[in-house]
Amino acid sequence: MAHSRVAIVTGAARGIGAAVAKRLAQDGFGVGVLDLTEDSCAATVEAITAKGGSAVAVGADVADAAQVEAAVARVAAELGPPTVLVNNAGITRDNLLFKMTEDDWDAVLGVHLRGAFLMSREVQKHQTEQGWGRIVNLSSTSALGNRGQANYSAAKAGMQGFTKTLAIELGKFGVTVNAIAPGFIETEMTAATAERLKVGFEDFKNSAAAAIPVRRVGQPEDIAATVSFLAGEESGFVSGQVIYVAGGPQD
Ligand code: NAP
């Protein structure tokens, strides 16, 4: 069945989200490149259009229901009904539990969990109407526990339960829902972690790589390739799964 080839990628101004947006454009999707401000999306949109793809920059906070509603409506109006959603927007506010503030907790759960909920609730309208869809949620190996990340690991474990429940609810509409749980990926997020730990980024990457079975850290393109599979036609019988993309097995 012919269906809309429009995707929305949140947090697509940089890092993993930017690589995912570029990859989906290369796969033939029109892409709603969403990040906090429209201006911050310009580089990703330019990279896509320079290669003949189509993309629109959309500024929205995924944790704000009204902004999410407007953002999804804009993508639908400019590119067509979005049937692929990649919930990638994310932040860290790392701290040991005794130093973690309520703001640290609320901000992280707000962007990851509330953001994925609001975006999915909005996009499923188009997906169910089209009778086809794909949702890919970004979890993390931190879902299994990581010192200094009580808020982030709770959010990323929450993404896994959210994924499985949406897979159960939306399957009959032709919509699959899966999560990718990356290990160490080289982005500004991991650079910021190195800075917080007062370690040089090269040393941080090298020591991470030494503990990873494939002996390297991940690149945003490693995640983009996995999203490409999950967003495509051929993955239609894969749903409710958490795929660890971490260079080795996870407990
Ligand atoms: P990143 O470089 O920090 O990029 C995240 C993007 O999300 C930024 O452009 C950020 O915008 C945007 N964003 C933050 N809050 C937002 C909001 N409320 N609404 C819309 N956009 C928002 O991070 P990354 O490393 O690419 O990570 C992408 C995803 O993968 C995240 O969900 C992260 O938790 C997950 N992940 C990353 C790793 C890793 O090793 N890098 C590992 C496992 C999982 P601003 O720049 O304006 O804040």
pLDDT tens by residue, 155-183: 999 999 999 999 999 999 999 999 999 99
Rg of the chain over CA atoms, in angstroms?
Answer: 17
d(CA 48, CA 39) in angstroms, rounded, equals: 15
Best mutation site among 38, 88, 119, 223 for ligand 1, i.e. most ligand atoms within 8 A of its Cβ? 88
Sequence letter at residue 70: A
Give the model's pLDDT for residue 251.
78
Which token pair is 247? 């260079």
| Catalytic residue status for 244 | no
As assigned by CATH, the class of the 6-183+218-243 domain is: alpha beta
Cα–ligand 1 centroid distance for 47 (angstroms): 19
d(CA 57, CA 14) in angstroms, rounded, equals: 13
Which token pair is 162? 């959210």
Best mutation site among 8, 10, 91, 152 for ligand 1, i.e. most ligand atoms within 8 A of its Cβ? 91
Best mutation site among 189, 223, 242 for ligand 1, i.e. most ligand atoms within 8 A of its Cβ? 189
**What does each C-alpha distance from 12 to 32, 77, 240 come to in angstroms?**
9, 19, 23
Within 6 Å (CB) of ligand 1, which residues are found? Answer: 10-11, 13-17, 35-36, 40, 61-63, 88-91, 111, 115, 138, 140, 182, 184-185, 187-190
- For residue 26, how many other CB atoms are within 10 A of its CB? 15
Nearest to 8 by CA among 99, 141, 124: 124
Ligand 1 atom closest to Cα of residue 139? 44
**pLDDT exceeds 60 at position 52:** yes
Give the model's pLDDT for residue 35.
99
Contact yes or no for 160/174 (Cβ under 8 A): no
Strands 6-10 and 30-35: parallel
Contact yes or no for 206/239 (Cβ under 8 A): no
* C-alpha 146: how far from chain center: 19
Query: Of residues 132, 152, 162, 244, which has the active-site annotation?
Result: 152
pTM: 0.98
pLDDT tens by residue, 199-243: 999 999 999 999 999 999 999 999 999 999 999 999 999 999 999
Cα–ligand 1 centroid distance for 172 (angstroms): 31
Cβ neighbours of residue 88 closer than 8 Å, sequence gap 6 or more: 9, 10, 11, 12, 16, 17, 20, 138
d(CA 180, CA 223) in angstroms, rounded, equals: 8
**pLDDT exceeds 80 at position 71:** yes
Cα–ligand 1 centroid distance for 230 (angstroms): 20
d(CA 176, CA 170) in angstroms, rounded, equals: 7
Percent of the chain with pLDDT over 90: 98
